């Protein structure tokens, strides 16, 4: 099939170009769009496009969901594509199997716009985002990147008057599609405004560029390389084509291919999973955002169903109907884990291993309890579990094996929970690849005190300060003796960030304390006496003894809590 870019984009405008549900969402950045148009102008190959020839009747017969291209992309909202509803039976459609991102980039550049954040404006404010359209500078090449020959840029209306945008001829690229012949440079408002100050070289460049832009987009039918798949191709074959086309390169991840298989059988999965991700990644409020991914959800669902967690497209289909019928239960367990993570003080800033979260979800899915009783506090036990598993890096290498071993330890031979109240004792006999385990001993705890202030020290402090209401307050790691003053003392500066000099304080208290010396702080705020305050001089000059004695107190508590 041969088409010019204009003809191809006309199909998009008429909603003939559509996306099967196996396709992922649009992910390109604005510079990728600019680079695509630069490649077109330079006559570089831009890759093949594969289209599935369809009509409205065949779309309904195949019972496959299709989605429209987006005509605007909002950087803040990132809304998904709209579903194609009630396609006309006799209308010809083209399902995009390969080339979705390029097609969407062409459509946005020529018939749409991007809504982008204003420099230094707040990300969470709707008014911080402006509509920007793709423009081409008709004179000269960009000086920002030697990799570009032609300057394309997304610009908002008033930005033409700003800095580097001044004294250039900015032509709105989509306007070229309105011409039936080569544009008359003299008739362009953009040209006339700047004509008097243009050199002969500028005028020559402008004419060459506008003519080439017209030729490449409206005349040259060799720019796009389009392969067409016939209407009568079965959806099973389409899926195979899609997987083979996309698994050979880096365009799609393994998760994307897995997701395409799920959506083939369970079309609602796209919406369900994306809504779940939005919920769990934002459920804790601004301070407790997470970065759970589609990959995590896919693997977790398999994990909860007692299946292997390795992602294999060919082995997935047998479990999709079970996922579909158990979706509410699966979803509820995944959502509920945020309660545990918030209780433990975790967010995207300090949760190192997302894999370590899966066994907690499994426990919840199987009916495990979170409520505290006189003899059980599962949330505190999970806090210990997260600390140990991450400090010992148990879910790093061979994480699939670790996940399976932990799952087996939680249930009996009938896959029922051994104990509805979680306790770290349940995992003491679990042995993982390489003889790794959940056992903590004196030597391991001693090594933790070599850690400098960071994610790992926060984890340890979270169990050392069980009274800290981390779930409802933002807690900071505070230096008992101020770091700024220790750094100026040669014999102390190397140890100023060690665990034994850190405590947990509510953020507002830490900010008020600032660089106040420990003795002074305790005089002003006697009620803030730390639970691991050693019986020795608290003068900064006695820092080494303070550090050693406080380590002894903290270590004794960790041994009491973690060694069974």
- The per-residue pLDDT for range 438-451, each reduced to its tens digit, is 999 999 999 999 99
Strand partners, 136: 152, 171
* Burial 267-301, CB ≥16 within 10 A → b, else e: eebbebbeebbeebbebbeeebebebebbbbbbbb
What's the pLDDT at 246?
62
What's the pLDDT at 250?
42
* pTM, 2 dp: 0.59
Strand partners, 18: 68, 95
Residue 126, classed as helix, strand or coil, is: helix
Q: What is the dihedral of CA 485, 490, 492, 495, to 10 degrees?
A: 100
Residues 6+ apart with CB under 8 A from 127: none
What's the pLDDT at 345?
84
d(CA 561, CA 564): 8
What's the pLDDT at 431?
86
What's the pLDDT at 52?
93
User: What residue has token string 């019986």?
Assistant: 535
Report residue 133: phi and psi, to 5°.
-115, 155
Beta-sheet pairing, 66-68 with 17-20: antiparallel
DSSP string, 430-468: -EEGGGEES---HHHHHHHTTPBSSHHHHHHHHHH-TTS
What's the pLDDT at 249?
44
Low-confidence ranges of the chain (pLDDT < 70): 62-63, 141-146, 160-166, 243-244, 246-257, 284-288, 311-315, 397-398, 467-473, 528
Residues 6+ apart with CB under 8 A from 316: 258, 261, 262
Question: What's the sign of the alpha-carbon dihedral 209, 214, 217, 221?
Answer: negative
d(CA 470, CA 472): 6
């Amino acid at each position: 099939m041969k088409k010019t870019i204009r003809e191809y984009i006309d199909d998009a405008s008429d909603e003939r170009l559509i996306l099967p549900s196996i396709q992922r969402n649009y992910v390109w950045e604005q510079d990728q769009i600019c680079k695509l148009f630069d490649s077109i102008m330079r006559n570089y190959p831009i890759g093949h496009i594969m289209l599935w020839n369809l009509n409205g009747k065949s779309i309904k017969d195949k019972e496959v969901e299709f989605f429209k291209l987006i005509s605007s992309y909002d950087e803040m909202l990132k809304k998904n594509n709209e579903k194609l509803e009630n396609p006309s039976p006799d209308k010809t459609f083209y399902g995009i199997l390969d080339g979705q991102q390029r097609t969407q980039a062409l459509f946005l550049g020529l018939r749409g716009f991007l809504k982008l954040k204003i420099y230094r404006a707040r990300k969470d404010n709707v008014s911080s985002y402006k509509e920007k359209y793709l423009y081409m500078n008709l004179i000269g090449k960009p000086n920002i990147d030697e990799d570009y020959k032609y300057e394309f840029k997304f610009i908002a209306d008033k930005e033409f008057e700003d800095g580097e945008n001044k004294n250039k001829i900015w032509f709105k690229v989509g306007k070229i599609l309105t011409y039936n012949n080569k544009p008359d440079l003299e008739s362009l408002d953009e040209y006339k405004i700047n004509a008097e100050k243009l050199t002969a070289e500028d005028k020559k460049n402008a004419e060459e560029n506008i003519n080439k832009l017209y030729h490449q987009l409206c005349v040259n039918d060799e720019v796009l390389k389009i392969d067409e798949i016939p209407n009568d191709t079965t959806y099973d074959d389409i899926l195979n084509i899609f997987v083979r086309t996309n698994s050979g390169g880096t365009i799609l991840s393994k998760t994307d291919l897995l997701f395409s298989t799920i959506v083939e059988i369970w079309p609602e999965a796209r919406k369900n999973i994306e809504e779940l991700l939005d919920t769990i990644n934002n459920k804790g409020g601004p301070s407790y955002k997470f970065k759970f991914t589609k990959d995590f959800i896919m693997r977790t669902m398999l994990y909860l169903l007692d299946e292997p967690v390795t992602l294999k497209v060919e082995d997935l289909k047998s479990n999709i109907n079970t996922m579909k019928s158990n979706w509410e239960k699966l979803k509820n367990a995944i959502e509920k884990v945020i309660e545990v993570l918030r209780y433990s003080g975790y967010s995207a800033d300090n949760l190192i291993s997302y894999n370590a979260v899966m066994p907690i979800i499994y426990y919840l899915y199987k009916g495990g309890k979170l409520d505290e009783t006189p003899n059980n506090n599962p949330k505190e036990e999970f806090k210990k579990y997260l600390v140990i598993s991450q400090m010992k890096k148990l879910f790093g290498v061979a994480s699939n094996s670790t996940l399976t071993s932990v799952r087996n330890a939680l249930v009996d031979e009938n896959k029922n929970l051994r104990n509805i109240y979680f306790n770290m004792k349940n995992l003491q006999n679990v042995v993982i690849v390489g003889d790794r385990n959940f056992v903590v001993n004196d030597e391991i705890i001693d090594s933790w005190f070599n850690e400098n202030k960071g994610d790992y020290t926060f984890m340890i402090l979270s169990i050392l300060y069980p009274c800290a209401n981390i779930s409802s307050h933002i807690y900071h790691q505070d230096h008992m003796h101020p770091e700024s003053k220790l750094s100026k003392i040669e014999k102390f500066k190397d140890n100023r960030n060690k665990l034994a000099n850190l405590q947990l304080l509510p953020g507002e208290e830490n900010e008020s304390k600032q660089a106040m010396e420990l003795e002074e702080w305790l005089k002003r705020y006697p009620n803030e006496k730390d639970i691991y305050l050693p019986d020795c001089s608290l003068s900064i000059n006695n820092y080494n003894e303070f550090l050693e004695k406080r380590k002894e107190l903290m270590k004794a508590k960790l041994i009491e809590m973690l060694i069974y």
